[in-house]
Amino acid sequence: MNQRPLSPHLQVWRWGPHMLISILHRATGDGMALVGLAVLVWWLGALASGPAAYASFQAIMGSIPGMVVLVGLSWAFFTHLMSGLRHFVLDIGAGYELDTNRMWSIAAPIIAILLTAGFWALLLLR
């Protein structure tokens, strides 16, 4: 029987909010890169193709599924931003105390949700 030690992986470590925020950071970065780039290229193509193509883009992105995509992209942006700021603080050597780390791991996605709601309230209510 092989007695080699296990590498740290998700089955070895006890789950905590710091793991979730780290995974969310990667997932939101990938989501913004893939979905955000697709929407950006589509928007630029519609701009370059004339008023009819741009009106079609506006109609689709103004529909319920389009708004879900736009809200999702803004949520991904704010989530990535907040976890990125958390990682920046960790990189400078602060915030490693267990209680502090746990508090910011919980606060980062909550702040991101509040920023997303505030952003869309500002856009829709002006």
The CATH number assigned to the domain holding 44 equals 1.20.1300
Q: Is 41 in contact with 7 (CB distance < 8 Å)? A: no
- Nearest in space to 110 (alpha carbons), one of 20, 35, 31, 26: 20
Q: What angle do CA 82, 85, 105 make, to 5 degrees?
A: 60
Classify residue 32: in a domain, yes or no: no
Amino acid at 124: L
- Nearest in space to 86 (alpha carbons), one of 14, 34, 9, 20: 20
pLDDT (tens digit per residue) in 74-101: 999 999 999 999 999 999 999 889 899 9
Classify residue 53: in a domain, yes or no: yes
Classify residue 10: in a domain, yes or no: no
Whole-structure pTM value = 0.86
pLDDT (tens digit per residue) in 95-123: 889 899 999 999 999 999 999 999 999 99
Host domain of residue 96: 39-125
To which residue do tokens 């789950």 refer? 15
